[in-house]
Amino acid sequence: MVMMSLTLTGKLPFTEVYLHSMVRDKYGSKMSKSKGNVIDPLDVIEGASLKQLLETLENSLLHPREVAKYGKTKRKDFPKGLPACGADALRFGLLCENKVAGSDVNLDINRVIGWRKFCNKLWNLHKLGVLWGLEDKTKFTPPKDIDALLGLQLSGPDKWILYRLSEVCSQANKNLVDYEIALACQLIYDFLLKEFAAYYAELSKVSIRSGDGPSKYAAQATFYTVLEAGYCLLHPMMPFVTEELWQRLPRSSRSAGAKSVSTAPYPNPAKDAQFAKLSGLAADALAVNSVISVIETLNRQKGIFLTGGNASKKPAIYLVTADASNATVLNHNISAVQALCKTGEISVVAEQGKVPVGCHGDFASDKHRTGVNMMLKGIVDFSKEIKTLQGKLKKLKAKCAKIEAHQSDPKFIANADKQQLHQEQERLAQYKEEVSAMELQIAAFQQLI
């Protein structure tokens, strides 16, 4: 590339080169035709049936004995073949896995499939924007600039997500300058999926569906701003899906002259005075953090205490806060919390003494230390659940002990391959996590009897 560019143009095609680590299979073994563990990127992008994977193996130069051996591995790892994940998911997955400079990348196709689901989530977010009228130029016009956006009747969730957008943009730019591309990928992914999609999309429905004209337009404008900036942020890592979605959005004045997302300004508060103004929403955004903390605490409680046949139950919730402004914010967002956590009636009280007996209590990690109390009495048979959980706990501990015995056995370690050791470590980590959760359940149920 350098020689051709110098010959034809007299210029260097680039001045910096980014070298990534070696890509290995998911067990950490070097991909090699002689091992039969090579994964063709085109098979990941376009998909391949198990029959195609086996035919590729059979047509290789491997000995028939090796073909049979690695064919067995292919059948185990890809019983239904490789689903089409697309170039964006593969590219994003490889970038995300290269977290530590100099460390190798262990390519697990299941994780690439997870990134494909992220691409689908971006489409679904865009469809939600379309449902709210963002593609209808006769009904929605993007705000002229950030000043115009900040002059709208923004709700608490609007201010929160815009402030978070400014923080993510600042950090992503820093990561890219420092060549910490994996950190930038993870940061943008967490923001779009775990904050924008998981929380804001639900919290903003109040303004979109039942708000008046000004508050509805403010939510639409906020949603549009985050979508447009999000596509620009993500474009270097996922060029195809972001280009397709960006082209469907109406143009704001910020990107009016750009014909492609690749030529649109990259969101950078350090170089864009208008964009930097979003950081001024910090104080307003803090109030919504208490709502997010309550949602996270409730979902964690439900995951621990309402399992099995109780998973679909909708318990009553009592939120305790002595701060009047925090209580106002919580009361305003009760319907969104109920929808996100699938709970019953939610009450906000000023004192712990007003919480009825039979609740399991916890504290949200907000500055107010909001008490989160879930009514379990009448939903959970504590004595029966304790007995069931103790039986399960005994079996889980036996499984942990068996794996730990294997790992301390020199003969097993000498004879086991990397795949077996990897699977054993994954199982042990999963079992230990389940043991901790069950012990917490049992202790909590014993206190509530």
pLDDT of residue 100: 66
390 has a pLDDT exceeding 80? yes
CA-based radius of gyration for the chain: 26
Are β-strands 346-349 and 317-320 bridged in parallel, bridged antiparallel, or unpaired? Answer: parallel
What's the DSSP call for residue 82? B
297 has a pLDDT exceeding 80? yes
Q: What average pLDDT does the structure give for the chain?
A: 88
**Sign, Cα dihedral of 330, 315, 312, 385:** positive
pLDDT, mean of residues 259-272: 92
Q: How confident is the model at residue 327 (pLDDT cuts 50, 70, 90)?
A: very high
Number of other residues whose CB lies within 10 A of the CB of residue 436? 11
- What digits encode the pLDDT tens for the residues 349-369? 999 899 998 888 889 888 878
- Site of tokens 């957008």: 165
Residue type, 425: Q
DSSP E strand boundaries for 246-330: 317-320
Q: Where do the structural domains in the chain lie, given as residue ranges?
A: 2-96, 114-271, 286-375, 382-448
DSSP E strand boundaries for 321-410: 346-349, 359-363, 371-375
pLDDT, mean of residues 239-262: 89
CA dihedral (335, 337, 340, 344) in degrees, to 10, reads -70
User: Terminal CA-to-CA distance of the chain, rounded, Å?
Assistant: 73
pLDDT of residue 186: 94
Our CA angle for 171, 172, 176, nearest 5°, is 120
pLDDT of residue 77: 82
- What digits encode the pLDDT tens for the residues 150-199? 999 998 899 999 999 999 999 999 999 998 999 999 999 999 999 999 99
Of 245, 281, 279, residue with least CA distance to 264:
245
Contact in structure between 62 and 36 (CB atoms under 8 Å): yes
* Between residues 421 and 344, the one the model is more confident about: 344
- What digits encode the pLDDT tens for the residues 187-205? 999 999 999 999 999 888 8
- Site of tokens 């014993």: 446
pLDDT of residue 197: 93
pLDDT of residue 294: 93
Contact in structure between 336 and 205 (CB atoms under 8 Å): yes
pLDDT, mean of residues 8-25: 88
Quick check: helix, strand or coil at residue 348? strand
Predicted TM-score of the model (pTM):
0.81
Question: What DSSP assignment string belongs to 2-56?
Answer: HHHHHHHHSS-S-S--PPPPPEEETTSPBP-TTTT----HHHHHH-B-HHHHHHH
pLDDT of residue 11: 94
pLDDT, mean of residues 279-286: 86
**CATH among 1.20.120.530, 3.40.50.300, 1.10.3720.10, 1.10.730.10 for 114-271:** 1.10.730.10
pLDDT of residue 101: 65
Most confident of 6-10, 58-62, 305-309: 6-10
pLDDT of residue 102: 64
pLDDT, mean of residues 24-44: 82
pLDDT, mean of residues 344-351: 93
- Site of tokens 């909001």: 370
pLDDT, mean of residues 250-255: 80
94 has a pLDDT exceeding 70? yes
